[in-house]
Amino acid sequence: MATVLSANLGYPRIGEKREWKRALEHFWSHKISKDEFLAKVKALRLSYLKKQRDIGVDLIPVGDFSLYDHVLDTAVLFGLIPDRFDQGEKEISLETYFSIARGNKDAEASEMTKWFDTNYHYIVPEISNRTQPRITRNRLLDLFQEAKQELGITAKPVILGPITLLKLSKGYDQEHFRTLLDALIPLYIKVLNELHQAGAEWVQIDEPILVKTLPEEDLAVFKPVYQQIKNGVPGLKLLLQTYFEAVDAYRDIVQLPVDGIGLDFVYGKAANLAAVKKYGFPADKVLAAGVIDGRNVWKNDLSATFAELETLLQAAGGKDKLWVTPSSSLLHVPVTITNEKELDPVLKNALAFADEKLGEAVTLTHGLNEGKAAITGLLEANKKDIETLQQSAHRNNQAVRKELDQLGDDLPTRPGSYRLRQQIQADAFNLPLLPTTTIGSFPQTTEVRQARRNLRKGEWTKAQYDQFIRDEIARWIKIQEEIGIDVLVHGEFERNDMVEYFGEKLAGFAFTRFGWVQSYGSRCVKPPLIFGDVAWTGPMTVKESAFAQSLTRLPVKGMLTGPVTIYNWSFVRNDIPQADVFNQIALALQKEVHALEEADIRMIQVDEPALREGLPLKEEKKKGYLHNAVYAFRLATSFVNNDTQIHTHMCYSEFDEIIEAIDALDTDVISIEAARSHGEIISTFEDFKYKKGIGLGVYDIHSPRIPSVDEIKSYAERALKVLDPKIFWINPDCGLKTRKPEEAIPALKNMVEAAKEVRQELSDRIEK
Ligand code: GLN
Ligand code: ZN
């Protein structure tokens, strides 16, 4: 009998308690041998497959598991090895694989970058004109056979498609795109044929590039490529999988010569659903319906989704033509909620991590096959769990609601223009030309981290801890004065993390114990949950800032994390619009800014290092996002007096799409990362005449290397070719928390010396 199937697109690698991370790091630090490592990761991999089977998933992926990154795996599979790591190995050794990802003593690692609009980072494949694509080892075949032999599972291999793979790669000239593609396709065919012969029925080919706004000529490539693949492996069924957004060219895509199409009905819901309804779905294909959110942590509204699936079932034309899936790989969510023992049950019952999401897919599939009555109990329980959180006090803070309702459409605006503020502030602060400052944090040494641990474990009293923090602040105020920095910071010693610190003090946030997700390689992050109405409950930073300011006559910047960054680095409730959450956070920060101003902190920096990464994938959505981001930032900052100086900071350098929004933040001073990308950003300011205070980072803080005075000067001098010295600040790329004091202090000394020399040169020039 024809049945709907449940399918998974990808499972988290890291393990319920980050066992994977530990295995990797132990291997890298030689604490375990290669054999032990391989045995460990194999056991993990098999346990994930088994778990998915126990949950009841019909189509379980293989090939999604990785020892570092799935894009790197695909590149390595096809021999796309950077020249500097290519030692002519037939099979790529584990050592080479990790060297590409992490670098080694002779060669720099490959670059990594964000995977679409997620917080996952992939290794960018490097292809040179010398690169000869070839199959190094068919790891998918190994994994497929492993699942079959060890567990009797006929898995669905997952592979990144050739077009997305090449589009994400760098180092080759665009005119070689076709040639490279022609070289890759026979290799894909060979890999797929081997899988088919080993018993695979379906393979999932991911082409997420299809959700981007693609030019005609790129879109046109899909048909011949997939025709060639289809002809090359006639018996194997191909699922072309997209995710993270709707596809623009729906009509062309559903006609491609494949056996199934996977669409995202969460992040691309409106447009994908509209397209299915308007144009129908081809009768000869499977529709893989991504109806369960693969990127957020909330329970699915199963009743609503069930109704949607009934519509999709109609469109697909039969139960054997529909799969129920998450909207993307579950790589982006934590593994399971079951280990969370300390969460408020009202919240916990409304959460679903990877395992629970697969359970939801299975439930929905069951309902479609057996009739809705078969899942009534589950639907009711689901409804109750969601409603309980919805109706709880957490989500019904009337004071916050009222403030939100009162917001107008116009952008909040500073009382005085920048020109006026500039004059007032120049008089108030009396800073030299090219003032020097830092970005906020100073080294988080072992002692600082130990102090936090002592407090957490109850070995220190709060008073002891506070005294330690005060001593650190005092020590570093003195260090900064001795170095000769003009605008000081307190050093952020009391902060573990720039979002968590605020989340712990604001209402509406919660923290899990094991809610980790992979960020890159073995690095995992544990994002806070913004689950309720966000509200300020009292000063968060005033004590430290005011104390620091009391120690010096130089200005000390107050230091906050901005609303957009707090949003983008959290898992966020999805029952209200993004702009409402931005504004709730902004209103809370507004109260903090106000409290700082009251405490006579006259410069306040509101960091937005994640503003750019929330930029939507679709062109038509970018403007709205940026508008909302600017609105929230200004809501938090723009009410201050003209003689309060608002700073912001961003540590990335791709500004082309956002420069106007950055200008619209209307900050008095912005610091931007620049040295890390070798000053590339400087050219942006040839075209865009930026007129407010700005500091382009004059040295890269990611490296322990101490930059020389001349090196720092050369960055400043290059920037001064396009920016007026009257608005220019001298600062490092980012905060110094990851550096050691013996690296930070001499580097800052050189920075101050460089500033002095450039100032001197400028005044000599004016005299001449
Ligand atoms: N103020 C923060 C710091 O210096 C900024 C961090 C960041 O930009 N990521 O650490
Ligand atoms: Zn930064």
Q: How far is the CA of 560 from the centre of ligand 1 (A)?
A: 9
Question: Structure pTM?
Answer: 0.96
Q: 761 Cβ partners below 8 Å, 6+ apart?
A: none
Quote the tokens at residue 443.
């080294």
Distance of CA 444 to the CA centre of its chain: 23
Residue 677 has pLDDT above 90, yes or no: no
| Ligand 1 residue neighbourhood (C-beta within 6 Å) | 439-441, 492, 498, 559, 607, 609, 649, 651, 734-735, 737
Q: How far is the CA of 752 from the centre of ligand 2 (A)?
A: 20
Ligand closest to Cα of 733 equals 2
Residue 492: name the closest of 699, 484, 613, 500 by CA: 500
What pLDDT digit, counting tens, does each position of 235-288 carry?
999 999 999 999 999 999 999 999 999 999 999 999 999 999 999 999 999 999
Tell me how crowded residue 16 is: count the other CB atoms within 10 A of its CB.
21
Residue 654 has pLDDT above 90, yes or no: no
- 366 catalytically annotated: no
- Report the pLDDT value the prediction gives residue 1, as an integer from 0 to 100: 79
Extents of the domains making up the chain: 401-767
Q: Give CA–CA dist 185/188, Å, rounded.
A: 5
What pLDDT digit, counting tens, does each position of 32-52 carry?
999 999 999 999 999 999 999
What pLDDT digit, counting tens, does each position of 563-614 carry?
999 999 999 999 999 999 999 999 999 999 999 999 999 999 999 999 999 9
Q: Which of 489, 492, 494, 498 should be mutated for ligand 1, with most atoms under 8 A from CB?
A: 498
Quote the tokens at residue 173.
């000239």
CB 460 within 8 A of CB 449: no
Q: Give CA–CA dist 639/642, Å, rounded.
A: 9
Residue 561 bridge partners (DSSP): 607
Q: Give CA–CA dist 508/114, Å, rounded.
A: 28
Q: Which of 487, 566, 676, 734 should be mutated for ligand 1, with most atoms under 8 A from CB?
A: 734
Q: How far is the CA of 18 from the centre of ligand 1 (A)?
A: 26
Residue 246: name the closest of 616, 501, 555, 599 by CA: 616
Among the atoms of ligand 1, which is closest to the Cα of residue 735?
Answer: 4
Ligand closest to Cα of 497 equals 1
User: Mean of the pLDDT values across residues 110-114?
Assistant: 92
Tell me how crowded residue 729 is: count the other CB atoms within 10 A of its CB.
24
Ligand closest to Cα of 701 equals 2
Among the atoms of ligand 1, which is closest to the Cα of residue 605?
Answer: 1
What pLDDT digit, counting tens, does each position of 723-762 carry?
999 999 999 999 999 999 999 999 999 999 999 999 999 9
Among the atoms of ligand 1, which is closest to the Cα of residue 561?
Answer: 1
Burial (CB < 10 A; 0-12, 13-18, 19+), residue 723, is buried
What pLDDT digit, counting tens, does each position of 161-176 carry?
999 999 999 999 988 9
User: Mean of the pLDDT values across residues 630-635?
Assistant: 98
Residue located nearest, by CA, to atom 8 of ligand 1: 609
Q: Which letter does DSSP use for residue 116 in this model?
A: T
Fold (CATH) for 401-767: TIM Barrel (3.20.20)
- Report the pLDDT value the prediction gives residue 767, as an integer from 0 to 100: 74
Average pLDDT, the chain: 97
Element (H, E) at 205: strand 202-206
Q: 754 Cβ partners below 8 Å, 6+ apart?
A: 698, 709, 710, 712, 713, 716, 730
Q: How many residues does the chain have?
A: 768
Q: Which letter does DSSP use for residue 108 in this model?
A: P
User: Mean of the pLDDT values across residues 297-314?
Assistant: 98
Q: Which of 438, 444, 480, 492 should be mutated for ligand 1, with most atoms under 8 A from CB?
A: 492
Residue located nearest, by CA, to atom 4 of ligand 1: 735
Q: Give CA–CA dist 507/538, Å, rounded.
A: 10
CA 360, 361, 365, 368: dihedral to nearest 10 degrees? 60
Measured between alpha carbons, how far is residue 622 from residues 108, 522, 659 in Å? 34, 31, 13
Quote the tokens at residue 598.
């009251």
CB 360 within 8 A of CB 333: no
Q: 376-391 and 302-316 helices cross at what angle (nearest 10)?
A: 130
Quote the tokens at residue 409.
């459409």
Residue located nearest, by CA, to atom 3 of ligand 1: 735
Which residue pairs from 759-762 have beta carbons closer than 8 angstroms and sit at least 24 positions apart in sequence?
759/432, 759/433, 759/434, 762/433, 762/434, 762/720, 762/725
Q: Give CA–CA dist 140/143, Å, rounded.
A: 5
pLDDT above 90 covers a percentage of the chain that reads: 95
Q: Of 38-47, 168-177, 382-391, 540-549, which gets the smallest average pLDDT?
A: 168-177
